[in-house]
């Protein structure tokens, strides 16, 4: 390799690792380089340099983190399976199963056809995270790989550069933060920001350079005062100035909608000490020197962040009215703050902070694994992980005093699922600071949250509108999907049995070969799959019944199908109880209630939707009568159904309260109300009221008509 190319040489890497590797380990790294160079022989990067330079640079980044030999060897080989003819077995035989497992986890899925680039990206990400759960070193190699790719983006087309930069900022930088690898995170964010928003990057960078000189004197003065006060207390410390990096400044400007001057007008210092006890003593000195800003003190030593980060944070009123941001931590905490889980390898002392970071990373990965098992597909899984990667901001307590770290805006349902999936599934209420509160209440730091469960309770679809953690969202969706499939199967069985009656057949009497032939025709595996499709409205029950009956010619429609706009006269119509789940639903177009004539319309993916025969949506679908289903109300329904009422009222104060009182007296419940002025004298009102049946509705209308301020009241026509 020529010196003029200024490229990293394998000798440089070997010299670097020789300080903490044995000679045999150094030889293994060199052998991996030679293996990679031979496998990638003839391949060039878009920049024109030999391809093997990329894995060499990735291994060098990991060597700076003092990673073990297997990680460096895997870094050398991380593209071999994907880009060459070499297989996993060859790598395993040459370098061991651990190296082969890491490399395989990093190899993209190239043998599978995907419908879209987004699906392919999500599937590759899913595969990598699953491999990471087996060996956490997979993600360390991937982060180093991404970092070198970001450093060399210049050779790519602009649109590809932007796509990679956006993916880095949305996924890989947050993963680095979640695992506490601060050094890599900062560089990924800086490079991603410069690529995705080059103009904004240049403007902020220029501003920082402009004001840096003006601040030098103030920073020196604060630094000297801190050192003098700490020396007087005989505290041995190391103080360093800390400058915010550009992406952090930009993110705060965007989040808080404030100008650059307000975000960057902060003097930041980090004070490194020898013990936890000294941390708190230094905090006392700092608070005596400058007054603390109320509400800005955070104790991450007593309550570490999810990635194991520990430090005391405080903000002080400094000279000239400027705030001073101070972080106080021990040497070991500082090492973990920069290296995160990599401190497990970087600092072999086995300190508690490094072990804590590694343990917390493992706990997060267990949650990721659980999300993976419940996610419907790779894109849904990626969405859940994205949500979960945002940093946690609040701390709440269980009734036993255990601390839970949750994202800002989390609710009691998020807490329930964070404790255990079964608690989340059976959650019915919560107490916040011993008082009953709605499940959707956003939690705040310091609150005690008690989850109330009930046997037989199940997740509510409405929870998806307010939960914010990836685990809660994944578990609720998984439960509802299974629930929908079970209900669809039950409904499909009822519908098919009813159709088979016209051929004097039933599911219990049909021979197995009929089932096999029908399943083959429809390209389905089991009878349960077939019943589910019928229940979801994806396949007409009549068509399936004809196939099972072995009838090939077109049959005349049974009489009951010719006059569906009347009340059903079929011998066995489906009975609607009003308690059906996700595959029998009631629309907002015509609001049918018990006592109304009804028909059902099979709707793909939604099962049976119940309408009144006069509904406009039924009239529009009269040409698709194969999707119409005879239905009737069951007897003794004890449910409430929404009805829409239209009222003209005298426009005077208190009219709404009078109407609400009348509805309450009739045991109704107002679900929604819209009041619009027509003129100075009259107003129009639209009410959605929950009632039991047509008799209940008639009683309410009579009650409303007796109110003097009500000019007209009528049920909205379908």
Residues carrying an active site annotation: 82-83
Distance, in Å, from the CA atom of 64 to the CA atom of 77, rounded to the nearest integer, reads: 18
Strands 574-576 and 449-453 turn out to be: unpaired
Looking at residue 183, what DSSP letter applies?
H
> Is the four-CA dihedral 7, 11, 14, 18 of positive or negative sign?
negative
Q: Which residue matches tokens 């959605």?
A: 688
- Looking up tokens 């590759």 gives 124
Burial 54-84 (b: 16+ CB within 10 A, else e): bbbbbbbbbbebbbbbbbbbbbbbbbbbeeb
Cβ distance 354 to 347 under 8 Å? yes
Mapped onto helix, strand or coil, the DSSP state of residue 489 is: helix
Extract the tokens encoding 557.
């429609």
Within 10 angstroms of residue 568's Cβ, the number of other Cβ atoms is: 19
Token pair in block for residue 434: 């011993």
Query: How does DSSP assign 43-100, residue by residue?
Result: -B-TTSSBTTHHHHHHHHHHHHTT--HHHHHHHHHTTHHHHSS--HHHHHHHH-HHHH
SS3 call for 2: coil
State the Cα–Cα distance between residues 164 and 159, nearest whole angstrom: 9
Contact predicate 105/365, CB 8 Å: no
Q: Which of 648, 643, 522 is nearest to 591 (CA)?
A: 643
Residue 423, helix vs strand vs coil: helix
**How far is the C-alpha of 59 from the C-alpha of 12, rounded, in Å?**
11
Q: In this structure, are residues 515 and 527 in contact, taking their beta carbons and an 8 Å threshold? A: yes
Count of alpha carbons within 13 Å of 135, Cβ hemisphere only?
18
β-strands 238-242, 267-273: how paired?
antiparallel
Q: Where are the beta strands (DSSP E) in 356-509?
A: 394-397, 403-406, 427-432, 435-437, 449-453
Token pair recorded at residue 170: 């949305």
Instruction: Give the pair of three-digit tokens for residue 617.
Output: 């949506």
Q: Yes or no: say if 101 and 61 are a contact pair by the CB < 8 Å rule.
A: no
Rounded distance, CA 429 to CA 577, Å?
27
Q: Could you give the 3-state DSSP secondary structure of residue 42?
A: coil
* Bridge partners for 610 per DSSP: 600
Q: Would you say 361 and 352 are in contact if contact means Cβ atoms under 8 Å apart? A: no
Q: What is the DSSP letter of 323?
A: E
Tell me the three-class secondary structure of 105-134, residue by residue: HHCCCCCCCCCCHHHHHHHHHHHHHHHHHH
Q: Which residues pair with 672 in a beta bridge?
A: 688
End-to-end alpha carbon distance in the chain: 81
**Residues 450/434, Cβ–Cβ less than 8 Å:** yes
630-651 burial code (b ≥16 CB/10 A, e <16): bbbbeeebeebbbbbbebebeb
Q: 711 by DSSP, 3-state: which?
A: strand
Please answer whether residues 161 and 195 qualify as being in contact, where contact means their C-beta atoms are separated by less than 8 angstroms. Answer: yes
């Amino acid at each position: 390799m020529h010196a003029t190319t200024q490229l990293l040489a394998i000798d440089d890497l070997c010299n670097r690792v020789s300080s903490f590797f044995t000679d045999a380990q150094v030889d293994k790294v060199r052998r991996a380089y030679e293996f990679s160079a031979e496998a990638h022989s003839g391949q060039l990067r878009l920049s024109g340099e030999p391809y093997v330079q990329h894995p060499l640079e990735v291994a060098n980044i990991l060597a700076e983190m003092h990673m073990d030999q297997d990680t460096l060897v895997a870094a050398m080989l991380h593209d071999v399976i994907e880009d060459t003819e070499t297989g996993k077995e060859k790598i395993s035989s040459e370098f061991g199963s651990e190296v082969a497992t890491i490399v395989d986890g990093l190899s993209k899925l190239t043998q599978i056809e995907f419908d879209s680039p987004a699906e392919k990206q999500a599937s590759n990400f899913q595969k990598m995270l699953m491999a990471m759960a087996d060996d956490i070193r997979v993600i360390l190699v991937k982060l180093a790989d991404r970092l070198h790719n970001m450093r060399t983006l210049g050779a790519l087309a602009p649109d590809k550069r932007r796509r990679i930069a956006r993916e880095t900022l949305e996924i890989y930088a947050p993963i680095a933060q979640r695992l506490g690898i601060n050094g890599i995170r900062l560089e990924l964010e800086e490079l991603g920001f410069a690529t995705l928003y080059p103009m904004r990057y240049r403007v902020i960078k220029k501003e920082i350079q402009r004001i840096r000189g003006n601040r030098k004197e103030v920073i020196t003065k604060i630094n000297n005062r801190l050192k003098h006060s700490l020396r007087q207390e005989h505290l041995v410390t190391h103080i360093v100035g800390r400058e915010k990096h550009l992406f952090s400044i930009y993110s705060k400007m965007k989040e808080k909608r404030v100008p650059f001057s307000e975000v960057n007008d902060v003097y930041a210092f980090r004070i490194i000490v020898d013990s936890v006890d000294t941390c708190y003593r230094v905090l006392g000195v700092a608070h005596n020197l400058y007054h603390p800003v109320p509400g800005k003190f955070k104790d991450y030593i007593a309550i570490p962040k999810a990635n194991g980060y520990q430090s005391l944070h405080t903000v002080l009123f400094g000279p000239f009215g400027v705030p001073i941001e101070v972080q106080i931590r021990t040497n070991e905490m500082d090492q973990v703050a920069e290296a995160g889980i990599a401190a497990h390898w970087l600092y072999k002392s086995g300190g508690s902070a490094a072990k804590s970071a590694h343990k917390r990373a493992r706990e997060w990965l267990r949650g990721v694994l659980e999300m993976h098992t419940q996610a419907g597909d790779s894109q849904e899984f990626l969405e859940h992980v994205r949500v979960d990667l945002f940093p946690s901001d609040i701390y709440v307590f269980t009734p036993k005093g255990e601390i839970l770290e949750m994202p800002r805006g989390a609710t009691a349902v998020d807490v329930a699922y964070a404790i255990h999936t079964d608690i989340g599934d059976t959650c019915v209420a919560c107490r916040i600071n011993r008082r009953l509160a709605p499940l959707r209440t956003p939690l705040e730091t310091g609150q005690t949250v008690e989850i109330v469960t009930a046997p037989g309770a199940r997740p509510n679809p409405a929870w998806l509108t307010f939960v914010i953690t990836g685990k809660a969202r994944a578990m609720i969706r998984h439960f509802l999907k299974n629930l929908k499939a079970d209900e669809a199967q039950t409904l499909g069985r009822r519908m098919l049995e009813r159709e088979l009656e016209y051929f004097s057949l039933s599911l219990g009497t049909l021979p197995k070969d009929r089932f096999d032939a029908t399943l083959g025709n429809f390209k389905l595996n089991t009878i349960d799959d077939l019943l589910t499709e019928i229940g979801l409205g994806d396949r007409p029950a009549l068509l399936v019944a004809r196939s099972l009956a072995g009838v090939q010619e077109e049959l005349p429609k049974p009489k009951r199908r010719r006059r569906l706009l009347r009340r059903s006269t079929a011998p066995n119509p489906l009975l609607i109880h009003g308690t059906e789940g996700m595959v029998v639903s009631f629309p907002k177009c015509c609001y049918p209630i018990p006592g109304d004539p009804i028909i059902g319309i099979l709707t793909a993916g939604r099962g049976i939707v119940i309408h009144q025969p006069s509904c406009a949506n039924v009239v529009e679908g009269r040409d698709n009568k194969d999707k119409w289903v005879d239905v009737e109300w069951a007897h003794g329904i004890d449910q409430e159904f929404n009805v829409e009422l239209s009222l003209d009222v005298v426009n005077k104060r208190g009219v709404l309260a009078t109407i609400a009182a009348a509805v309450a007296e009739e045991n109704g419940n107002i679900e929604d109300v819209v009041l619009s002025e027509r003129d100075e004298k009259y107003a129009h009102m639209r009410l959605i009221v929950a009632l039991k049946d047509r008799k209940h509705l008639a009683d309410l209308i009579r009650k409303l008509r007796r109110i003097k301020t009500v000019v007209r009241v009528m049920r909205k026509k379908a």
